[in-house]
Chains A and B, each alone.
Chain A
Amino acid sequence: MAMPLPPGLAHSEVAFLAEMELVTVVPRQRLESIDLLGGATPPLRPPHRTDLPLWLALLLKKQRRANIVPPHWLHPSSLSEIIHHETKVNPKAFSAPPPTPVRADTHNPGHAHRQGSGGGGAQQQQQQQEQLLLSAPFRASCTADAPAGYLPYHWLEVAESLLAHAGDDVASALGASAGEVRGLLRDLVEVRAAKMRSSTADLEEFGGGLMSMRGVGAVELAESRGFVLGVVDGVRKVGASAEAVRREKEEEEGEEGGGEEGESDEEMGIF
Protein backbone atom coordinates (compact mmCIF):
# COMPACT_ATOMS: atom_id res chain seq x y z
CA MET A 1 0.00 0.00 0.00
CA ALA A 2 1.17 3.49 -0.66
CA MET A 3 0.45 4.74 2.86
CA PRO A 4 -0.42 2.06 5.40
CA LEU A 5 -0.95 4.52 8.26
CA PRO A 6 -4.44 5.79 9.11
CA PRO A 7 -5.21 9.45 8.50
CA GLY A 8 -3.59 11.77 10.99
CA LEU A 9 -0.01 11.96 12.13
CA ALA A 10 1.49 8.98 13.91
CA HIS A 11 3.80 9.29 16.94
CA SER A 12 6.93 8.87 14.87
CA GLU A 13 5.82 11.61 12.49
CA VAL A 14 5.08 13.95 15.38
CA ALA A 15 8.55 13.25 16.77
CA PHE A 16 10.02 13.99 13.33
CA LEU A 17 8.13 17.28 13.28
CA ALA A 18 9.29 18.18 16.78
CA GLU A 19 12.92 17.80 15.73
CA MET A 20 12.46 20.80 13.48
CA GLU A 21 11.96 23.10 16.46
CA LEU A 22 14.67 25.69 17.02
CA VAL A 23 16.73 25.49 20.22
CA THR A 24 19.54 27.66 21.50
CA VAL A 25 23.03 26.21 21.39
CA VAL A 26 26.37 27.31 22.85
CA PRO A 27 29.01 26.06 20.40
CA ARG A 28 32.40 24.83 21.59
CA GLN A 29 34.03 24.83 18.15
CA ARG A 30 33.88 27.14 15.20
CA LEU A 31 31.73 25.95 12.36
CA GLU A 32 31.11 27.68 9.05
CA SER A 33 27.63 28.26 7.78
CA ILE A 34 26.36 25.20 5.90
CA ASP A 35 24.00 25.58 2.94
CA LEU A 36 21.03 23.38 3.70
CA LEU A 37 17.77 22.86 1.86
CA GLY A 38 15.89 24.62 4.63
CA GLY A 39 18.14 27.66 4.52
CA ALA A 40 21.76 28.22 5.51
CA THR A 41 22.69 27.47 9.11
CA PRO A 42 24.06 30.45 11.01
CA PRO A 43 27.85 30.28 11.48
CA LEU A 44 28.91 29.01 14.91
CA ARG A 45 31.37 31.29 16.71
CA PRO A 46 32.00 30.26 20.32
CA PRO A 47 30.94 31.47 22.81
CA HIS A 48 28.05 33.27 21.09
CA ARG A 49 24.68 31.55 21.37
CA THR A 50 22.92 30.56 18.18
CA ASP A 51 19.54 29.06 17.32
CA LEU A 52 19.63 25.77 15.46
CA PRO A 53 17.04 23.10 14.68
CA LEU A 54 16.82 20.42 17.34
CA TRP A 55 18.10 17.58 15.13
CA LEU A 56 21.27 19.53 14.37
CA ALA A 57 21.68 20.56 18.00
CA LEU A 58 21.45 16.94 19.12
CA LEU A 59 23.99 15.90 16.49
CA LEU A 60 26.42 18.54 17.69
CA LYS A 61 25.81 17.61 21.30
CA LYS A 62 26.53 13.93 20.62
CA GLN A 63 29.84 14.89 19.02
CA ARG A 64 30.59 17.20 21.93
CA ARG A 65 30.84 20.22 19.67
CA ALA A 66 28.15 22.22 21.45
CA ASN A 67 26.01 22.52 24.57
CA ILE A 68 22.27 23.05 24.47
CA VAL A 69 20.58 25.82 26.46
CA PRO A 70 17.18 24.64 27.71
CA PRO A 71 14.22 27.00 27.28
CA HIS A 72 12.86 28.83 30.29
CA TRP A 73 9.57 27.02 30.42
CA LEU A 74 11.48 23.88 31.36
CA HIS A 75 12.62 25.42 34.64
CA PRO A 76 11.18 23.61 37.71
CA SER A 77 9.51 26.77 38.97
CA SER A 78 7.88 27.33 35.59
CA LEU A 79 6.72 23.72 35.44
CA SER A 80 5.33 23.84 38.99
CA GLU A 81 3.47 27.01 38.12
CA ILE A 82 1.97 25.38 35.08
CA ILE A 83 0.98 22.31 37.11
CA HIS A 84 -0.66 24.57 39.66
CA HIS A 85 -2.48 26.41 36.89
CA GLU A 86 -3.70 23.17 35.37
CA THR A 87 -4.93 21.67 38.62
CA LYS A 88 -6.24 24.60 40.62
CA VAL A 89 -6.81 27.61 38.44
CA ASN A 90 -8.37 26.05 35.37
CA PRO A 91 -9.11 22.35 35.84
CA LYS A 92 -11.26 22.04 32.74
CA ALA A 93 -9.10 23.48 29.99
CA PHE A 94 -5.45 23.10 29.13
CA SER A 95 -3.03 25.90 29.92
CA ALA A 96 -2.62 28.62 27.32
CA PRO A 97 -0.19 28.24 24.44
CA PRO A 98 2.66 30.75 24.13
CA PRO A 99 1.61 34.14 22.81
CA THR A 100 2.27 34.91 19.16
CA PRO A 101 5.48 36.88 18.72
CA VAL A 102 4.66 40.36 17.47
CA ARG A 103 6.81 43.21 16.39
CA ALA A 104 5.97 46.89 16.58
CA ASP A 105 5.08 48.46 13.27
CA THR A 106 7.43 51.42 12.90
CA HIS A 107 5.36 53.00 10.16
CA ASN A 108 2.23 52.86 12.22
CA PRO A 109 2.83 53.88 15.85
CA GLY A 110 0.75 52.01 18.38
CA HIS A 111 0.16 49.04 16.09
CA ALA A 112 2.00 45.76 15.89
CA HIS A 113 2.03 42.97 13.38
CA ARG A 114 2.93 39.35 13.72
CA GLN A 115 6.54 38.40 13.36
CA GLY A 116 7.05 36.31 10.32
CA SER A 117 4.46 37.89 8.10
CA GLY A 118 5.69 39.40 4.85
CA GLY A 119 8.07 42.34 5.19
CA GLY A 120 7.45 45.87 6.33
CA GLY A 121 6.81 49.14 4.57
CA ALA A 122 7.95 49.54 1.01
CA GLN A 123 9.45 46.09 0.59
CA GLN A 124 6.11 44.35 0.40
CA GLN A 125 5.83 44.22 -3.37
CA GLN A 126 8.95 42.12 -3.79
CA GLN A 127 8.59 38.85 -5.67
CA GLN A 128 5.05 38.04 -4.52
CA GLN A 129 5.86 38.33 -0.84
CA GLU A 130 2.88 36.43 0.53
CA GLN A 131 1.69 36.75 4.05
CA LEU A 132 2.97 33.42 5.35
CA LEU A 133 1.97 32.98 8.96
CA LEU A 134 4.44 30.80 10.79
CA SER A 135 3.25 28.08 13.12
CA ALA A 136 4.90 25.34 15.18
CA PRO A 137 7.56 24.03 14.67
CA PHE A 138 8.81 27.21 13.04
CA ARG A 139 7.80 29.57 15.83
CA ALA A 140 10.98 29.61 17.93
CA SER A 141 9.07 28.61 21.06
CA CYS A 142 11.83 26.35 22.45
CA THR A 143 14.79 28.69 22.23
CA ALA A 144 16.32 30.33 25.27
CA ASP A 145 14.20 33.42 24.55
CA ALA A 146 10.96 31.53 24.87
CA PRO A 147 8.75 32.86 27.67
CA ALA A 148 8.35 30.80 30.83
CA GLY A 149 4.95 29.67 32.00
CA TYR A 150 3.64 28.59 28.60
CA LEU A 151 3.88 25.14 27.11
CA PRO A 152 4.60 25.22 23.38
CA TYR A 153 2.96 22.72 21.05
CA HIS A 154 5.87 20.25 21.05
CA TRP A 155 6.69 20.61 24.72
CA LEU A 156 6.78 16.92 25.62
CA GLU A 157 8.95 15.74 22.73
CA VAL A 158 11.44 18.57 23.11
CA ALA A 159 11.60 18.18 26.90
CA GLU A 160 12.15 14.44 26.66
CA SER A 161 14.84 14.79 23.98
CA LEU A 162 16.69 17.41 25.97
CA LEU A 163 16.58 15.35 29.13
CA ALA A 164 17.65 12.19 27.34
CA HIS A 165 20.53 13.62 25.32
CA ALA A 166 21.49 16.81 27.13
CA GLY A 167 20.58 16.06 30.74
CA ASP A 168 23.77 17.60 32.08
CA ASP A 169 23.11 20.85 30.23
CA VAL A 170 19.59 20.99 31.59
CA ALA A 171 20.79 20.37 35.14
CA SER A 172 23.54 22.97 35.04
CA ALA A 173 21.54 25.65 33.22
CA LEU A 174 18.43 25.38 35.36
CA GLY A 175 20.21 24.82 38.66
CA ALA A 176 18.05 21.78 39.42
CA SER A 177 18.66 18.09 38.99
CA ALA A 178 17.41 16.34 35.90
CA GLY A 179 15.47 14.01 38.16
CA GLU A 180 13.48 16.90 39.56
CA VAL A 181 12.59 18.15 36.11
CA ARG A 182 11.66 14.61 35.05
CA GLY A 183 9.40 14.22 38.05
CA LEU A 184 7.61 17.47 37.30
CA LEU A 185 7.22 16.47 33.67
CA ARG A 186 5.65 13.17 34.72
CA ASP A 187 3.17 15.04 36.93
CA LEU A 188 2.31 17.38 34.09
CA VAL A 189 1.79 14.49 31.70
CA GLU A 190 -0.49 12.81 34.26
CA VAL A 191 -2.60 15.92 34.82
CA ARG A 192 -3.06 16.64 31.13
CA ALA A 193 -3.78 13.02 30.26
CA ALA A 194 -6.50 13.00 32.92
CA LYS A 195 -7.96 16.16 31.38
CA MET A 196 -7.87 14.58 27.94
CA ARG A 197 -9.72 11.54 29.22
CA SER A 198 -12.37 13.63 30.95
CA SER A 199 -12.83 15.82 27.90
CA THR A 200 -13.86 12.74 25.97
CA ALA A 201 -16.91 12.67 28.23
CA ASP A 202 -17.85 16.05 26.74
CA LEU A 203 -17.82 14.40 23.36
CA GLU A 204 -21.08 12.69 24.18
CA GLU A 205 -22.81 16.03 24.14
CA PHE A 206 -20.92 17.04 21.02
CA GLY A 207 -23.92 18.20 19.12
CA GLY A 208 -22.81 21.72 18.50
CA GLY A 209 -20.35 21.12 15.73
CA LEU A 210 -17.14 22.59 17.15
CA MET A 211 -15.15 21.59 20.19
CA SER A 212 -12.22 23.70 21.25
CA MET A 213 -9.07 22.29 22.83
CA ARG A 214 -6.87 25.31 23.22
CA GLY A 215 -3.42 24.49 24.51
CA VAL A 216 -3.30 20.76 23.86
CA GLY A 217 0.12 19.34 22.99
CA ALA A 218 1.26 17.38 19.94
CA VAL A 219 1.83 14.03 21.60
CA GLU A 220 -1.43 14.23 23.55
CA LEU A 221 -3.23 14.93 20.30
CA ALA A 222 -1.55 12.05 18.49
CA GLU A 223 -2.38 9.61 21.28
CA SER A 224 -6.05 10.42 21.52
CA ARG A 225 -6.62 11.27 17.85
CA GLY A 226 -7.88 7.85 16.89
CA PHE A 227 -10.32 7.61 19.77
CA VAL A 228 -11.61 11.17 19.65
CA LEU A 229 -12.14 11.28 15.90
CA GLY A 230 -13.75 7.87 16.05
CA VAL A 231 -16.22 9.05 18.68
CA VAL A 232 -17.05 12.24 16.80
CA ASP A 233 -17.55 10.40 13.54
CA GLY A 234 -19.60 7.76 15.30
CA VAL A 235 -21.88 10.34 16.88
CA ARG A 236 -22.32 11.99 13.51
CA LYS A 237 -23.19 8.75 11.74
CA VAL A 238 -25.59 7.65 14.44
CA GLY A 239 -27.35 10.99 14.32
CA ALA A 240 -27.20 11.33 10.54
CA SER A 241 -30.82 10.53 9.84
CA ALA A 242 -32.07 12.68 12.72
CA GLU A 243 -29.91 15.51 11.47
CA ALA A 244 -31.28 15.19 7.95
CA VAL A 245 -34.82 15.35 9.33
CA ARG A 246 -33.93 18.39 11.40
CA ARG A 247 -32.49 20.19 8.40
CA GLU A 248 -35.50 19.44 6.27
CA LYS A 249 -37.75 20.79 8.98
CA GLU A 250 -35.67 23.95 9.25
CA GLU A 251 -35.81 24.44 5.52
CA GLU A 252 -39.55 24.05 5.46
CA GLU A 253 -39.97 26.46 8.33
CA GLY A 254 -37.66 28.89 6.60
CA GLU A 255 -39.80 28.74 3.46
CA GLU A 256 -42.97 29.35 5.42
CA GLY A 257 -41.57 32.67 6.52
CA GLY A 258 -40.27 31.36 9.81
CA GLY A 259 -43.21 32.63 11.81
CA GLU A 260 -43.21 30.12 14.61
CA GLU A 261 -40.13 29.27 16.59
CA GLY A 262 -38.56 25.91 15.93
CA GLU A 263 -39.66 23.57 18.68
CA SER A 264 -37.03 21.43 20.23
CA ASP A 265 -37.52 17.84 19.34
CA GLU A 266 -37.03 15.62 22.38
CA GLU A 267 -36.56 12.58 20.20
CA MET A 268 -33.32 13.99 18.89
CA GLY A 269 -31.61 13.92 22.24
CA ILE A 270 -32.18 10.28 22.96
CA PHE A 271 -29.74 7.74 21.65
Chain B
Amino acid sequence: MDIDDILREVDPTFHSIPREKRDLQELTRAWIAERSAPELLPWPANGLFERINSNIKHQIEKVEEMTGDTDPKTNFALIVIQTELERYRYLVRSYLRARIAKIDRHTLHYLSTDDLRSRLSEMELAYATRHQALLHNHYLSSFLSSFPANLQNLNDAAAGISMIETPDLESAVFIRLLKDTFVEVRGVDADGAVNVKESDIAILRWSDAKPLVEAGSAELI
Protein backbone atom coordinates (compact mmCIF):
# COMPACT_ATOMS: atom_id res chain seq x y z
CA MET B 1 0.00 0.00 0.00
CA ASP B 2 1.16 3.47 -0.79
CA ILE B 3 2.05 5.79 2.06
CA ASP B 4 -0.68 8.01 0.64
CA ASP B 5 -3.36 5.38 1.22
CA ILE B 6 -2.26 4.70 4.78
CA LEU B 7 -2.17 8.37 5.64
CA ARG B 8 -5.49 9.00 4.00
CA GLU B 9 -7.18 6.43 6.16
CA VAL B 10 -5.64 7.71 9.35
CA ASP B 11 -5.54 11.48 9.04
CA PRO B 12 -8.89 13.22 8.52
CA THR B 13 -7.25 16.42 7.29
CA PHE B 14 -5.35 14.73 4.49
CA HIS B 15 -7.35 15.33 1.35
CA SER B 16 -4.95 14.91 -1.50
CA ILE B 17 -6.13 13.81 -4.90
CA PRO B 18 -4.55 10.61 -6.18
CA ARG B 19 -1.86 11.05 -8.81
CA GLU B 20 -3.84 9.42 -11.66
CA LYS B 21 -6.83 11.65 -11.15
CA ARG B 22 -4.59 14.72 -11.13
CA ASP B 23 -2.94 13.55 -14.32
CA LEU B 24 -6.31 13.02 -15.96
CA GLN B 25 -7.49 16.47 -14.94
CA GLU B 26 -4.26 18.00 -16.27
CA LEU B 27 -4.48 16.05 -19.52
CA THR B 28 -8.12 17.06 -19.99
CA ARG B 29 -7.35 20.69 -19.26
CA ALA B 30 -4.37 20.62 -21.62
CA TRP B 31 -6.52 19.07 -24.34
CA ILE B 32 -9.30 21.65 -24.07
CA ALA B 33 -6.75 24.46 -23.91
CA GLU B 34 -4.90 23.22 -26.97
CA ARG B 35 -8.14 22.85 -28.94
CA SER B 36 -9.32 26.34 -28.03
CA ALA B 37 -6.19 28.52 -28.06
CA PRO B 38 -5.10 30.19 -31.29
CA GLU B 39 -1.40 29.51 -30.71
CA LEU B 40 0.66 26.55 -29.59
CA LEU B 41 0.83 26.23 -25.83
CA PRO B 42 3.98 25.01 -24.07
CA TRP B 43 4.49 21.27 -23.86
CA PRO B 44 3.43 20.27 -20.31
CA ALA B 45 6.41 20.13 -18.00
CA ASN B 46 6.82 17.88 -14.94
CA GLY B 47 6.95 14.67 -16.92
CA LEU B 48 3.21 14.39 -17.51
CA PHE B 49 3.40 12.75 -20.91
CA GLU B 50 6.19 10.36 -20.00
CA ARG B 51 4.02 9.06 -17.16
CA ILE B 52 0.97 8.88 -19.40
CA ASN B 53 2.82 6.96 -22.11
CA SER B 54 4.26 4.42 -19.73
CA ASN B 55 0.88 3.96 -18.03
CA ILE B 56 -0.78 3.34 -21.38
CA LYS B 57 1.88 0.77 -22.28
CA HIS B 58 1.38 -1.07 -19.00
CA GLN B 59 -2.35 -1.04 -19.46
CA ILE B 60 -2.07 -2.51 -22.96
CA GLU B 61 0.13 -5.29 -21.60
CA LYS B 62 -2.41 -5.97 -18.91
CA VAL B 63 -5.18 -6.18 -21.49
CA GLU B 64 -3.17 -8.66 -23.53
CA GLU B 65 -2.63 -10.84 -20.46
CA MET B 66 -6.28 -10.73 -19.49
CA THR B 67 -7.51 -11.57 -22.98
CA GLY B 68 -6.16 -15.07 -22.55
CA ASP B 69 -8.43 -15.63 -19.55
CA THR B 70 -11.89 -17.03 -20.29
CA ASP B 71 -13.24 -16.45 -16.79
CA PRO B 72 -16.48 -14.38 -17.06
CA LYS B 73 -15.52 -12.23 -14.07
CA THR B 74 -12.29 -11.02 -15.63
CA ASN B 75 -14.12 -10.69 -18.91
CA PHE B 76 -16.20 -7.80 -17.66
CA ALA B 77 -13.20 -6.11 -16.05
CA LEU B 78 -11.46 -6.50 -19.40
CA ILE B 79 -14.29 -4.70 -21.19
CA VAL B 80 -14.14 -1.83 -18.72
CA ILE B 81 -10.37 -1.54 -18.97
CA GLN B 82 -10.47 -1.57 -22.76
CA THR B 83 -13.21 1.06 -22.89
CA GLU B 84 -11.31 3.34 -20.57
CA LEU B 85 -8.09 2.75 -22.46
CA GLU B 86 -9.76 3.78 -25.70
CA ARG B 87 -11.14 6.94 -24.09
CA TYR B 88 -7.75 7.85 -22.64
CA ARG B 89 -5.99 7.24 -25.95
CA TYR B 90 -8.59 9.36 -27.73
CA LEU B 91 -7.69 12.24 -25.44
CA VAL B 92 -3.96 11.82 -26.03
CA ARG B 93 -4.37 11.42 -29.79
CA SER B 94 -6.65 14.42 -30.10
CA TYR B 95 -4.24 16.55 -28.06
CA LEU B 96 -1.26 15.58 -30.20
CA ARG B 97 -3.20 16.09 -33.41
CA ALA B 98 -4.30 19.57 -32.36
CA ARG B 99 -0.67 20.49 -31.71
CA ILE B 100 0.56 19.06 -35.00
CA ALA B 101 -2.12 20.97 -36.88
CA LYS B 102 -0.92 24.23 -35.31
CA ILE B 103 2.71 23.42 -36.01
CA ASP B 104 1.86 22.63 -39.63
CA ARG B 105 0.10 25.95 -40.13
CA HIS B 106 2.88 28.14 -38.75
CA THR B 107 6.01 25.97 -38.93
CA LEU B 108 8.54 28.71 -39.60
CA HIS B 109 7.05 30.88 -36.88
CA TYR B 110 7.48 28.23 -34.20
CA LEU B 111 11.00 27.41 -35.37
CA SER B 112 12.12 31.00 -35.46
CA THR B 113 13.00 31.89 -31.86
CA ASP B 114 14.35 29.75 -29.04
CA ASP B 115 11.49 30.77 -26.81
CA LEU B 116 8.93 29.41 -29.26
CA ARG B 117 10.99 26.32 -29.99
CA SER B 118 10.97 25.42 -26.31
CA ARG B 119 7.19 25.01 -26.48
CA LEU B 120 7.59 21.97 -28.72
CA SER B 121 8.49 18.55 -27.44
CA GLU B 122 11.61 16.90 -28.85
CA MET B 123 9.67 14.76 -31.28
CA GLU B 124 7.60 17.69 -32.46
CA LEU B 125 10.76 19.74 -32.97
CA ALA B 126 12.33 16.96 -35.03
CA TYR B 127 9.13 16.63 -37.04
CA ALA B 128 8.86 20.37 -37.64
CA THR B 129 12.47 20.77 -38.80
CA ARG B 130 12.36 17.76 -41.10
CA HIS B 131 8.95 18.65 -42.49
CA GLN B 132 10.03 22.21 -43.19
CA ALA B 133 13.24 20.99 -44.83
CA LEU B 134 11.26 18.61 -47.05
CA LEU B 135 8.87 21.36 -48.06
CA HIS B 136 11.68 23.75 -48.80
CA ASN B 137 13.46 21.23 -50.99
CA HIS B 138 10.22 20.52 -52.79
CA TYR B 139 9.66 24.20 -53.48
CA LEU B 140 13.24 24.64 -54.61
CA SER B 141 13.04 21.81 -57.08
CA SER B 142 9.58 22.87 -58.31
CA PHE B 143 9.79 26.57 -58.91
CA LEU B 144 11.89 28.42 -56.39
CA SER B 145 15.23 27.83 -58.07
CA SER B 146 14.00 29.63 -61.17
CA PHE B 147 13.40 32.83 -59.14
CA PRO B 148 16.13 35.48 -59.01
CA ALA B 149 18.55 34.76 -56.20
CA ASN B 150 17.49 37.62 -53.97
CA LEU B 151 13.82 36.57 -54.07
CA GLN B 152 14.32 32.95 -53.09
CA ASN B 153 13.93 33.49 -49.36
CA LEU B 154 10.94 32.00 -47.58
CA ASN B 155 11.31 34.26 -44.57
CA ASP B 156 11.78 37.58 -46.31
CA ALA B 157 11.14 40.50 -44.01
CA ALA B 158 11.61 43.37 -46.42
CA ALA B 159 9.43 46.47 -46.22
CA GLY B 160 8.56 45.70 -42.60
CA ILE B 161 6.15 42.88 -43.36
CA SER B 162 7.45 39.41 -42.59
CA MET B 163 6.65 36.53 -44.91
CA ILE B 164 6.28 34.16 -42.00
CA GLU B 165 2.66 33.75 -41.03
CA THR B 166 2.06 34.14 -37.31
CA PRO B 167 -1.05 33.03 -35.43
CA ASP B 168 -3.52 35.76 -34.51
CA LEU B 169 -2.87 36.35 -30.83
CA GLU B 170 -5.81 38.66 -30.40
CA SER B 171 -8.59 36.22 -31.27
CA ALA B 172 -11.33 35.85 -28.73
CA VAL B 173 -11.44 32.86 -26.40
CA PHE B 174 -13.77 31.59 -23.69
CA ILE B 175 -12.25 31.15 -20.29
CA ARG B 176 -13.47 29.94 -16.91
CA LEU B 177 -12.01 31.54 -13.81
CA LEU B 178 -10.57 29.24 -11.17
CA LYS B 179 -9.88 31.97 -8.63
CA ASP B 180 -11.18 35.46 -7.93
CA THR B 181 -8.87 37.75 -9.84
CA PHE B 182 -8.47 41.25 -11.11
CA VAL B 183 -7.93 41.27 -14.86
CA GLU B 184 -7.00 44.08 -17.22
CA VAL B 185 -8.47 43.81 -20.68
CA ARG B 186 -8.04 45.73 -23.87
CA GLY B 187 -11.05 46.45 -26.05
CA VAL B 188 -11.84 48.31 -29.24
CA ASP B 189 -13.43 51.40 -27.71
CA ALA B 190 -11.97 51.36 -24.26
CA ASP B 191 -9.58 49.45 -22.06
CA GLY B 192 -10.88 48.21 -18.80
CA ALA B 193 -10.03 46.39 -15.63
CA VAL B 194 -12.56 44.14 -13.95
CA ASN B 195 -12.84 42.01 -10.86
CA VAL B 196 -13.99 38.56 -11.91
CA LYS B 197 -15.17 35.91 -9.52
CA GLU B 198 -14.36 32.24 -9.45
CA SER B 199 -16.50 30.07 -11.78
CA ASP B 200 -17.20 33.05 -14.02
CA ILE B 201 -17.15 32.37 -17.73
CA ALA B 202 -15.87 35.24 -19.84
CA ILE B 203 -15.01 36.09 -23.43
CA LEU B 204 -11.85 38.07 -23.94
CA ARG B 205 -8.82 38.35 -26.17
CA TRP B 206 -6.23 35.62 -26.00
CA SER B 207 -3.47 38.13 -25.30
CA ASP B 208 -5.35 39.27 -22.18
CA ALA B 209 -6.27 35.73 -21.14
CA LYS B 210 -2.78 34.29 -21.59
CA PRO B 211 -1.24 35.55 -18.31
CA LEU B 212 -4.24 34.24 -16.39
CA VAL B 213 -4.05 30.80 -17.96
CA GLU B 214 -0.31 30.57 -17.38
CA ALA B 215 -0.68 31.59 -13.75
CA GLY B 216 -3.35 28.96 -13.26
CA SER B 217 -6.12 31.40 -12.30
CA ALA B 218 -8.21 30.55 -15.37
CA GLU B 219 -8.65 27.77 -17.86
CA LEU B 220 -9.82 27.74 -21.47
CA ILE B 221 -13.13 26.07 -22.17
Binding site for B on A (CB under 8 A): 1-3, 5, 7-9, 13, 16-17, 19-20, 31-32, 34-39, 41, 55-56, 59, 63, 97, 100, 103, 106-107, 115-116, 118-121, 123, 126, 128-129, 131-135, 137-138, 206-216, 218, 221, 225, 228-229, 232-233, 235-236, 239-240, 242-243, 246, 268-269
The 17 sampled A-B contact pairs (Cβ below 8 Å) are A3-B100, A7-B37, A9-B36, A41-B80, A119-B16, A123-B11, A123-B14, A208-B189, A208-B192, A209-B204, A210-B192, A212-B202, A225-B174, A229-B171, A229-B172, A236-B188, A239-B189
Q: Which of B59, B76, B192 contacts A209 (CB 8 A)?
A: B192
**Chain B hits for A214, CB < 8 A:** 197, 199-201
* Residues of chain B contacted by A17 (CB below 8 angstroms): 28, 32
Judge whether B171 and A123 touch: CB under 8 Å: no
Q: Which residue of A lies closest to B7 (CB)?
A: A123
Known: A39-B21, A135-B219, A210-B185. Is A59-B36 also a contact (CB below 8 A)?
no
Report chain B residues within 8 Å CB of A218: 221
Contact B202 A37 (CB under 8 A): no
- The CA of A213 and the CA of B199, in the complex, are separated in Å by 10
For A3, give the chain B residue with the smallest CB separation.
Answer: B101
Any A CB within 8 A of the CB of B194: yes
Indicate the size class of the contact surface on chain B. 35 or more
In the complex the two chains form, is B16's CB within 8 Å of A118's CB? yes
Closest 9 CB pairs of A and B: A207-B189, A209-B187, A209-B185, A3-B101, A239-B188, A120-B13, A2-B101, A232-B172, A39-B20
Are B187 and A207 closer than 8 Å at their CB atoms?
A: yes
Least Cβ–Cβ distance between B89 and chain A, in angstroms: 9
**Interchain CB contact under 8 A, A37 and B56:** yes
Return the contact of B189 from the options A5, A34, A132, A269 (Cβ within 8 A): A269
A-B contact count (CB 8 A): 201
Q: How far is the CB of A201 from chain B (nearest CB, A)?
A: 15
The CA of A63 and the CA of B98, in the complex, are separated in Å by: 35
Which residues from A are CB-within-8-Å of B174?
A: 8, 221, 225, 229
Inter-chain contact A210/B204, CB cutoff 8 Å: yes
Report whether B196 and A212 are in contact in the complex, using a CB–CB cutoff of 8 Å. Answer: yes
Bound form: Cα–Cα A208–B14 in Å = 44
Which one of B77, B87, B191 lies within 8 Å of A16 (CB-CB)? B87
Give Cα A174–Cα B115 distance, bound, in whole angstroms: 56
Contact A235 B21 (CB under 8 A): no
A8, B35: Cβ atoms closer than 8 Å:
yes
Q: Could you tell me which residues of chain B, from 166 to 190, have a CB within 8 Å of some CB in chain A?
A: 170-174, 176, 178-179, 183, 185-190
Residues of B near A5 (CB, < 8 A) are 35
Q: How far is the CA of A122 from the CA of B195 in the complex (A)?
A: 33
Check B201 against A212 for contact (C-beta < 8 Å).
yes
Closest to B199 in A: A97
CA distance A19 to B20 in the complex (A): 18
Within 8 Å CB of B12, what residues of A?
A: 106
- The one of A208, A240, A243 that contacts B185, using a Cβ cutoff of 8 Å: A208
Cβ contact within 8 Å between B21 and A138 = yes
Q: Which A residues are in CB contact (< 8 Å) with B87?
A: 16, 19, 55
B25 part of interface (Cβ distance < 8 Å)? yes
What residues on A are CB-neighbors of B76 within 8 Å? 31, 63
Q: B198 at interface (Cβ–Cβ under 8 A)?
A: yes
B68 within 8 A of partner (CB): no
Contact B190 A207 (CB under 8 A): yes
CA distance A128 to B46 in the complex (A): 10
Of the residues B88, B198, B221, contact of A37 by C-beta under 8 Å: B88
- Give the Cβ gap from B7 to chain A, nearest Cβ, in Å: 7
Of B36, B170, B188, the residue contacting A207 (CB under 8 A) is B188
CB nearest to B172 among chain A residues: A232
| Cβ-defined partner of B104 (8 Å) among A2, A8, A56, A243 | A2
Tell me the smallest distance from the CB of A190 to a CB of chain B, in Å.
Answer: 21
In Å, the complex CA distance between A123 and B20 comes to 18
Given A207-B190, A210-B185, A212-B200, A37 and B13 touching (CB < 8 A)? Answer: no
B211 within 8 A of partner (CB) = no
